[in-house]
Amino acid sequence: MEKKSVHEEVFKLLPWFTNESLEEKERDLVMAHLRECLECRKERDQLQRIEAIVKETDEVVSNYRFSYNKLLPRIEEAELARENAAGQNEEVKVRNWLPVAGIAASLMLAVGLIGVYQVGLAPQPIVPQAVATDFRTLTTQTQMVGETTRVALTFEQPVQAVTMRKALIETHSNIISGPDESGTYVIEVEIPPAMSGEEYLQSLRKIEGVRYARLGE
């Protein structure tokens, strides 16, 4: 580096030489230059005086708690808004899904009725026999307490939108897929830690409009 450019660079670096934040290589460059440059030495001395004066006139800072207490309500309000927004998102998910579910259920019902009319048979249960025999049994199933798990939920047919919505809100669940040919939906739920998997299934079966519930897809 040329002597002039070294001088200019060192001159600019001097404030950080005085606050001792330069890296070793730069510090060495400044120190070497200071030994031979009177102008930079004078500047360094002046900067040290400015620094000393500036530090001497430190501002008085009050206790943090007074200001902190003013911020707390704002934080609590934000947290509340966040929780409400999360709740609304869940509702929106359900609301968005319901028309589709309603149409699908109506179509299925219509197809079923046409089939019955054409074949001239007595109406068959929507839930298959094999499934229906499991209805409200106390069979031990794989438990996934406290984790997100999937539950197959069969509603009374035809399912009412309001019934389904209520069930989903009550269980804080999301619909993953469905309905299948038996009117079963797969939902994702979190089993409360205080309940076993079977207890939770029993509680689901007690929800109005729910005909059947079992763990897994």
Using CB under 8 A as the criterion, which residues of the chain lie in contact with another protein when the complex forms?
11-13, 15-16, 19-22, 46-47, 49-51, 53-59, 61-62, 64-65, 67-68, 70-71, 74-75, 78-79
210 forms beta bridges with: 155
Q: Quick one: 6 or 131, whose CB is closer to another protein?
A: 6
CB of residue 189 to another protein, shortest distance in Å: 24
Q: Quick one: 49 or 172, whose CB is closer to another protein?
A: 49
Q: Quick one: 3 or 49, whose CB is closer to another protein?
A: 49
* 203, 213 contact by CB (below 8 A): no
Give the contacts of 87 (CB within 8 A, at least 6 positions apart): none
CB of residue 40 to another protein, shortest distance in Å: 13
Q: Is 150 helix (H, G, I), strand (E, B) or coil?
A: strand
186 forms beta bridges with: 152, 177
Q: Quick one: 4 or 65, whose CB is closer to another protein?
A: 65
* 92, 163 contact by CB (below 8 A): no
* 25, 52 contact by CB (below 8 A): no
Helix (H) or strand (E) holding 151: strand 148-155
Q: Taking the mean position of all CA atoms in its chain, how far away is CA 210?
A: 29
CB of residue 4 to another protein, shortest distance in Å: 16
* 135, 212 contact by CB (below 8 A): yes
Q: Quick one: 9 or 199, whose CB is closer to another protein?
A: 9
| Greatest pairwise CA separation for the chain in angstroms | 112
CB of residue 89 to another protein, shortest distance in Å: 18
Distance, in Å, from the CA atom of 201 to the CA atom of 214, rounded to the nearest integer, reads 7
Q: Taking the mean position of all CA atoms in its chain, how far away is CA 147?
A: 15
CB of residue 79 to another protein, shortest distance in Å: 7
Q: Quick one: 72 or 138, whose CB is closer to another protein?
A: 72
CB of residue 11 to another protein, shortest distance in Å: 8
